[in-house]
C-alpha cells in the first residue's frame, strides 16, 4: 500500500480531528480507589456509543468486535494489512478528567514495524486522545490546512492527538513525534515482545503528556475524544489485540506498578 493513505490517517486523526505518569500502571488497590472517586467508564457494553471510523485512502479496514468475557466486556481488535479507528462518541474535558486508565493485551509485534519511519508507522494497538479543531488555538498555517481539508472532506479535523502505543521495538523512544505530523505525539508505554499475551494495566496523565509532547499546556476549555486503533497497512502485517476497562478519572490516583496477568 502506498504511504499517502497513512499520511491521510494522521492528518485526519492527528493534528486535524509531559511528563506525567505515563509509564505507570494501576494496581488493584488503585483501581478500587479510582472507583471511589467515580471514574467515567467507557463501557464496551454500550456498543452504540462506539463508532467505527473509516480512514481516507485505506481499502482494508481493521475489525473491532465487542465480546463478553465473564462479567465484563472487552474489545477484540483485528488488523490484516488494514487500518481504521473506533471512537467513543462522547467528548470529555481533560481538565475535569485528566487521567486515562485501561487494560490491554497484545499477542504479537510487527518485525517490520518502526514508528520512527513512515514505512514502519504501524502499531498492533493504540489508545488515542483526539483534540477537536478550534481556530483560536491554531497557527495561521494550521488554519489554512484545516480550511483546505474542510473543502476536500466537508468537516474540520482535530487539532492535536496523543497516541499511546504498544511499540514494536524495545529501542523505541518513550516520547516522539509522528513521522507524518508534528501535531501527533506518540508515547510508547510498552515496547517489544516483553509482556506479550498478558493483560497490562496502564494509567496516563493527559495534561502532562500533552505538555511533554507539544511544549505547551492544553488550552483551557479544550475537549477531547478517546479512540482505539489497530493498524498494519504500511507493514502489511496482521495481528489480534484486546482492550478492556477504559476509565476517565477525575482525580489523580496513586502510582502503581504494572499489574500483568494471563487471561
How far is 45 from 50, CA to CA, in rounded Å?
A: 10
Residue 22 lies in domain: 4-261
Q: What is the CATH number of the domain that holds 46?
A: 2.60.120
Predicted local distance difference test score (pLDDT) of residue 252: 54
Question: How many structural domains compose the chain?
Answer: 1
Predicted local distance difference test score (pLDDT) of residue 7: 45
Q: Over its length of 263 residues, how does the chain's per-residue pLDDT go in tens digits?
A: 334 445 444 544 444 343 334 434 444 444 444 445 689 999 999 999 999 998 777 889 999 999 999 999 999 999 999 999 999 999 999 999 999 999 999 999 999 999 899 989 999 999 999 999 889 998 898 899 889 888 887 777 789 999 999 999 999 999 999 988 888 999 999 999 999 999 999 999 999 999 999 999 999 999 999 999 999 999 999 999 999 999 999 975 554 433 444 44
How far is 104 from 122, CA to CA, in rounded Å?
A: 17
H helix or E strand, kind and range, residue 5: helix 4-10
Q: Which of 53, 64, 77, 56 lies closest to 1, judged by CA?
A: 56
Would you state the cell numbers that stand for residue 3, as one nine-digit string?
A: 504511504
Would you state the cell numbers that stand for residue 142, as one nine-digit string?
A: 494550521
Predicted local distance difference test score (pLDDT) of residue 188: 98
The 10s digit of each residue's pLDDT in 65-104 is: 999 999 999 999 999 999 999 999 999 999 999 999 999 9
Predicted local distance difference test score (pLDDT) of residue 172: 96
Q: Which long-range contacts (CB under 8 A, 24 or more apart) does 184-187 make?
A: 184/10, 184/14, 184/15, 184/160, 185/160, 185/161, 185/209, 185/210, 185/212, 185/213, 185/214, 186/115, 186/162, 187/22, 187/162, 187/163, 187/213
Predicted local distance difference test score (pLDDT) of residue 25: 43
Backbone angles phi, psi at 243, to 5 degrees: -135, 145
**CB neighbourhood size of 144 (10 A):** 11
**CB neighbourhood size of 51 (10 A):** 12
Strands, DSSP E only, in the chain?
40-41, 50-53, 63-69, 72-80, 83-88, 99-106, 126-132, 158-167, 175-177, 184-191, 199-205, 225-231, 238-249, 260-261
Predicted local distance difference test score (pLDDT) of residue 36: 52
Predicted local distance difference test score (pLDDT) of residue 6: 53
Please name the residue ranges forming H helices in 130-197: 140-153
Predicted local distance difference test score (pLDDT) of residue 4: 43
How far is 232 from 124, CA to CA, in rounded Å?
A: 7
- Answering whether pTM is above 0.85, one says no
Amino acid at each position: 500500500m502506498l504511504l499517502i493513505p497513512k499520511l491521510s490517517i494522521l492528518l485526519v486523526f492527528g493534528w486535524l480531528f509531559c511528563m506525567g505518569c505515563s509509564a505507570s500502571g494501576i494496581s488493584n488497590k488503585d483501581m478500587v480507589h479510582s472507583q471511589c472517586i467515580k471514574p467515567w467508564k467507557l463501557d464496551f457494553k454500550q456498543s452504540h456509543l462506539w463508532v467505527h471510523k473509516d480512514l481516507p485512502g485505506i481499502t482494508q479496514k481493521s475489525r473491532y468486535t465487542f465480546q463478553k468475557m465473564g462479567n465484563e466486556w472487552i474489545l477484540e481488535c483485528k488488523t490484516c494489512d488494514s487500518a481504521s479507528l473506533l471512537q467513543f462518541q462522547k467528548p470529555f474535558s481533560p481538565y475535569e478528567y485528566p487521567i486515562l486508565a485501561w487494560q490491554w493485551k497484545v499477542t504479537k509485534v510487527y518485525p517490520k514495524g518502526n514508528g520512527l519511519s513512515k514505512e514502519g508507522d504501524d502499531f498492533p494497538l493504540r489508545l488515542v486522545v483526539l483534540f477537536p479543531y478550534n481556530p483560536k488555538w491554531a497557527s495561521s498555517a494550521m488554519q489554512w490546512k484545516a480550511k483546505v481539508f474542510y473543502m476536500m472532506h466537508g468537516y474540520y479535523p482535530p487539532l492535536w492527538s496523543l497516541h499511546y502505543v504498544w511499540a514494536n521495538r524495545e529501542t523505541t523512544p518513550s516520547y516522539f513525534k509522528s513521522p507524518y505530523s508534528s501535531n501527533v505525539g506518540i508515547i510508547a508505554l510498552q515496547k517489544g515482545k516483553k509482556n506479550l499475551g498478558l493483560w497490562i494495566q496502564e494509567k496516563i496523565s493527559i495534561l502532562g503528556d500533552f505538555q511533554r509532547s507539544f511544549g505547551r499546556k492544553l488550552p483551557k476549555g479544550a475537549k477531547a475524544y478517546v479512540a482505539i486503533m489497530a493498524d498494519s497497512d504500511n507493514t502489511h502485517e496482521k495481528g489480534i489485540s484486546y482492550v478492556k476497562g477504559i476509565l476517565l478519572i477525575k482525580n489523580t490516583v496513586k502510582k502503581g506498578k504494572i499489574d500483568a496477568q494471563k487471561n
